[in-house]
Amino acid sequence: MSAFEPLTGGDAAAFPEHEHDVLIVAGSRPEVARLAPVAAAVAAADRIRGITVATGPDPMAVHEAFEALGVPADITVLLPGGVGPGMADVVAALLTRLDRLMVDQDPSAVLVHGGGTAAAVAASVAFWRRIPIVHMQAGMATDDLLCPFPQEAHRRVIGQLASLFLTTSGAALGSPLGPNVLTIGDTINSLPGPSDPVCAEVLQRVHAERRRLVLVDLERPSSWPVLDGIADLLERYPRVEFVVTGPLVAGEPARSPARHPRVAVVPELSLPDELAVLAAATVLVSDDHELVADAPGLGTLAVRVDGPNIPQPGDSIRSIAAQDAATAVAQVMDCDHGRRPPPSDGVEAARAEQAMAWMFGLCSSPQLPDDRAGGCTSDSSDEEESSEA
């Protein structure tokens, strides 16, 4: 299998001519959820050539996520055969292949998000090649070096190498970034709304009424005890919504949770809808290892049901027995003091494109005209919910 899947159509002429180009590098599905809208905004503005790169420990999953979000990957960097599962093995393979990619493409800049393994490697290689790094930061971004692990540590390393910082709501925690910090909001909000009408209605309530959300995604029959605890959680937290989904629910609809106005049962979620709901959730409860691994990158704590008891530094993922899941969710809720994402105006990705165009000297201001006129809402904050009344 080749190291690269080249451009769609197999011809470099598929890219229009531009003075500046940016490699938009994603190494996980949460990164795709935030970088795909930026790639779409770059294509729409047509001032910069954006080249989407799918890579990471599971590059085909990233490739498929780009496809599902309507922004096909231009280049897919595959790992060589025989690479071991260890982090060091993956990093060693990515180092050589991303270095070759940057030599071949010679981009004007590299855009990465968060602190995933691929983001850290891409930023390091770009720095060695003296290619400017644009770092988008969202998700957990905590003061705890070990939470989420190892993303938070990687994020801080990238913060020492980057030239331009695009943040969700001001300077990122735990990292003095210097003057080139622009607040753009969370670009996941620039994705189209959920296609499933039930999910769309739930997310509208969550955002409009500042409610909290629990996503329950189950695959195995042994996980049924999780659903038994939902009734108690509904009574204890009257401002919490639930979305229940997964193969287990789809396979046995008669055993799905009882009808309740704050419980939405959706047998199957498309990948874009799943990522949108997961990003909006306060906590995920699931026996799907891949989904649990995605949660910290989207700023969501995860309770892994009946998974291997692997210690998770920073406690961003908890492994617990199915019958104890409700207790774990309650612990998360009781420690969450009303933190909510800021409201969105849907143009966060356009702000990212504007900032990069400004960096290249293609426009006079790093801000959109509406933001300069005082119309920016991405950095506003509402009163935090004071109680669960």
List pLDDT tens digits, range 151-199: 888 888 998 899 999 988 755 444 455 568 888 999 988 888 889 999 9
Q: What is the pLDDT of residues 340-370, one digit of tens each?
A: 666 788 899 999 999 999 999 999 999 898 8
Higher-confidence residue of 232 and 177: namely 232
Q: What is the pLDDT, as a whole number, of residue 85?
A: 75
- Measured over all CA atoms, what is the biggest interatomic distance in the chain, rounded to whole angstroms? 60
Q: How far is CA 388 from the centre of its chain?
A: 28
Q: Per residue in 215-245, is it b (16+ CB within 10 Å) or e — as a string? A: bbbbbeeebeebbebbeebbeebeebbbbbb
In whole angstroms, what is the distance from residue 165 CA to residue 123 CA?
Answer: 13
Q: What is the pLDDT of residues 62-97, one digit of tens each?
A: 999 999 999 999 999 999 887 777 889 999 999 999
How far lies 93's CA from each of 27, 75, 97, 337, in Å? 13, 16, 6, 42
In whole angstroms, what is the distance from residue 103 CA to residue 162 CA?
Answer: 19
Q: What is the pLDDT of residues 14-63, one digit of tens each?
A: 445 789 999 999 999 999 999 999 999 999 999 999 999 999 999 999 99
Q: How far is CA 368 from the centre of its chain?
A: 24
Q: Catalogue all structural domains in the chain, each as residue range(s) with its CATH number.
A: 4-186+344-372 (3.40.50.2000), 197-335 (3.40.50.2000)
Higher-confidence residue of 317 and 326: namely 326
Full-model pTM:
0.85
In whole angstroms, what is the distance from residue 153 CA to residue 168 CA?
Answer: 18
Task: Give residues with Cβ within 8 angstroms of 22, minimum separation 6.
Answer: 42, 48, 49, 50, 51, 107, 108, 109, 110, 111, 134, 356
Mean pLDDT within 248-260: 74
In whole angstroms, what is the distance from residue 110 CA to residue 131 CA?
Answer: 7
Res. 375: pLDDT tops 70: no
In whole angstroms, what is the distance from residue 242 CA to residue 239 CA?
Answer: 10
DSSP state of 17: P
